Structure 1
Amino acid sequence: MKAKLPIIISVPHGGEIIAPEMSNRTLLSRSDIFSDGDPLTREIYDFRNEVAYYFETTIARATVDLNRSPDDLPPLNRDGVVKSHTVTGKGIYINNHIPKRETVRLLLKKYYKPYHEGLAIKSKKPLLCGIDCHTMLDRAPTTSQLSGRKRPFICLSNRGDRHGNKAKGRRLTCPPEMLRSLGRFLQEQFPEEADDITLNDPFLGGYIVRQHSKDLPWIQIELNRNSYLSSEWYDPENLEVCHKRIAELRTRLFEAIRNFVGFNCHHSLLGKQVA
C-alpha cells in the first residue's frame, strides 16, 4: 500500500449547495453560486487518496464561509462568515433579510464548527504542513480596493512579505524556506507561468492558515481561475469546464506538492514550528 503524504489538504470554498436552512430565502442562481465560490476546487485539489487528511465541504461559500472568523458577521462585514452579499456585490437574501442570530448560530454549529474542529485536531498530528486550497478571480472584483487589478497565475501565502519572510506585525504561518520551496516546485510544473507565481501578493493568507498554524505550518494557495475558466476550456452558459483541463491541473499541482513534501521531509522540516 502506497504511503500517503504527511499533509492536510483543506478545500473550504468548493461547495455549490445552499444550506437547506436557507434554500428558500436566497436570490442566488446556479451561476451566482458558481461565481461566488471557488468553482471545481473539489476536483482540482482532489488529493484525498494521496494525503494523510483531506477536508472539503459541499456547502456554498455564500451560505457559510469557512475561511472567516466565526464573529466576522454582517452588517459590519457583508462578506463575513455568513454573508449579505456575494464577492461581486450581489445581495444574497430576499428583501435583504440577513439571517437572524439564532439562524447564524445554527449554521455555524452545523457546517462551520465541525470543519474547524477537524482541522484543529489533525493540525496537532506529526505532519509536515497543511495546505488551504483556493482559486481566485483573474482580476480583483469591483468590491475590492484593488478593483480590476490583474492577478498572478498562482499566489502562495504565509502572512509574510513578497519573499515569504516575516513582515512587521504579522505572525508567519509557515517558515519562509518552506513557502519558497513550494513556489519552486510549482514553477517546475508550470514553466510557462513560472514568472507569474507570487508570494503573499495579492493575498496574505486567510483565517484558516492563521487559526491552525499554531501547532503546524500552514500554506494558502490561490490558483487563477483563468487557468480553467477562459474561453478555451469553459462554457459559461452551461457552466461546463473541460474535464481534461481540470485533470491536467490536478496532475501538475499534485506533482509539485509531492516533490515539495519529499524535499522538505528530507531536509527535516517535518513538524517544524513557525515563529
Structure 2
Amino acid sequence: MQYPFLISIPHGGTAIPPLVADRFALDQQEVAYYSDPDTRTLFHFGSAAGAVIDTPVSRMVVDLNRPPLPVPPHDPDGIIKVRTIDGKPVYRAGQFPDMHTIHRLMMEWYFPYHQRIDELIDTNGIKIAFDCHTMLPFGSPEQKDAGKKRPLVCLGNNGDPRGLAVNGGITTCPETWIHALAGEFRREFSPEFPEDAVAINTPFSGGFISNAHYWRKGIPWIQIEINRSLYEPCVDPDPIHGLVYGQTGELREKLWQVLTGFWDRLGTDEKRE
C-alpha cells in the first residue's frame, strides 16, 4: 500500500561541490557531523510513500531549510553558512563565496529542490508532507536552547507547545493532527519513551520548507526531529540506557509504523480538510 506522504529530507547530503571544495575549512568528518546523513536511511521509505525528495549536497554548502533572504553572509546560520552551530568557521579565512558563487550554488541546488517539492505535490496525490531531520541531544552554543537537553522527538507545525498558532499566525497542520502524531510516537515506542519524550514545537517549530510550502500549496506539513542519541549514543554525554537502537534500519521501521499508524487512525473527514 502506498501512503499519500511527501517525505522531504533536506539535510541528509554530505557532498561538497567542486565549486567551493577548495575553500572549505571543515573536513569530511566535520561535514558529516554538522549534516544529517542518517536521515537518508531513517526516512527514505521508497515507493511506500507517495514521494520522497532528498539531496546529495551538504547543508553546510547550501541549507535548503533556510529562506533565501537575508543575503549571505548576514545570517551566520543561514542559507550559506558562515560558521557552524558551535562557532567553527565553515570557510577558510578570506574564502567565503562571493555573490556570483552564491548565485550559482542556489541555482544548482536550492531553487530546484523547492520547485521539485511543488511538482511532487501537484502530481503525486500528496495529502500531507513531513520535513525530516535529526538533532543533537543538547542545544549547541549558538542555538537558542544552548546547553539544554532535548526531547527524543520534536514535532513542529509553526505553533506553540500546544500546537496552536502564535500571535495571530498560522500553523502548518491542525492542532489535532500534530497531537495525533505525538500520540502515535508514544504508542509505538511505549513503554520505552518517558512521558516527556515527545515535544511539540520545542525546541524546533518548523523551518522554511514546511512553512513556505504550506503557504504555497495548502498541504499540511509537520517537521519531524529525531534525537540522534536514539541510534548514535556516542553523541550524548547522558545516554538513554536501554533505548538506543544501534541500527538505523530498526529505528526506520518504527518510524514508518508511526507515520502509517497516525494516518490510518485519522478520520476520513479530517483527511479531507
Q: Distance in 2 between matches of 1:21 and 1:28?
A: 15
Alignment deviations for residues 122-170 of structure 1 (CA, whole Å, 9 cap, x no partner): 3345432100000011000011232100000000000111111222142
| Alpha carbons of structure 1 residues 104 and 43: separation in structure 2 relative to 1, 3 Å | same
Q: Given the alignment of the two structures, is residue 127 of structure 1 paired with residue 130 of structure 2, yes or no?
A: no
What RMSD, in angstroms, separates the aligned Cα atoms of the two structures?
Answer: 1.9
Whichever residue aligns with residue 127 of structure 1, its letter is: I
> 2:85 maps to what in 1?
87
Q: Distance in 1 between matches of 2:71 and 2:138?
A: 25
Identity over the aligned pairs, expressed in percent?
32
Alignment deviations for residues 210-263 of structure 1 (CA, whole Å, 9 cap, x no partner): 001132000000001111111399xxxxxxxx9962011100000010111212
Q: Given the alignment of the two structures, is residue 220 of structure 1 paired with residue 219 of structure 2, yes or no?
A: no
Q: Distance in 1 between matches of 2:227 and 2:119?
A: 30
User: Secondary structure in 2 aligned to 1:269?
Assistant: helix
Aligned partners of 2:158 and 2:171 also within 8 Å:
yes
Aligned partners of 1:123 and 1:212 also within 8 Å:
no
> 1:182 maps to what in 2?
181
> 1:138 maps to what in 2?
137
> 2:72 maps to what in 1?
74
TM (norm. structure 1) is 0.89
Q: Paired residues, what number?
A: 261
Aligned partners of 1:84 and 1:96 also within 8 Å:
no
Whichever residue aligns with residue 270 of structure 1, its letter is: K
Q: Distance in 2 between matches of 1:139 and 1:244?
A: 19
> 1:109 maps to what in 2?
107
> 2:209 maps to what in 1?
208
How does 1:33-72 map onto structure 2 within 5 Å? Answer: 33-72=31-70
Q: Distance in 2 between matches of 1:198 and 1:260?
A: 16
Q: CA deviation at 1:200?
A: 0.5
Q: Answer with 249-258 or 126-135: which moved more.
A: 126-135
Q: CA deviation at 1:271?
A: 5.2
Aligned partners of 1:217 and 1:271 also within 8 Å:
no
Alignment deviations for residues 167-186 of structure 1 (CA, whole Å, 9 cap, x no partner): 21421001111111111111
Q: CA deviation at 1:194?
A: 4.8
Q: Which runs of 5+ in 2 are unaligned?
A: 237-243
> 1:237 maps to what in 2?
none
Aligned partners of 2:145 and 2:203 also within 8 Å:
no
TM (norm. structure 2) is 0.90
User: Secondary structure in 2 aligned to 1:270?
Assistant: helix
Q: Answer with 40-49 or 72-81: which moved more.
A: 72-81
Q: Which runs of 5+ in 1 are unaligned?
A: 234-241
> 2:239 maps to what in 1?
none
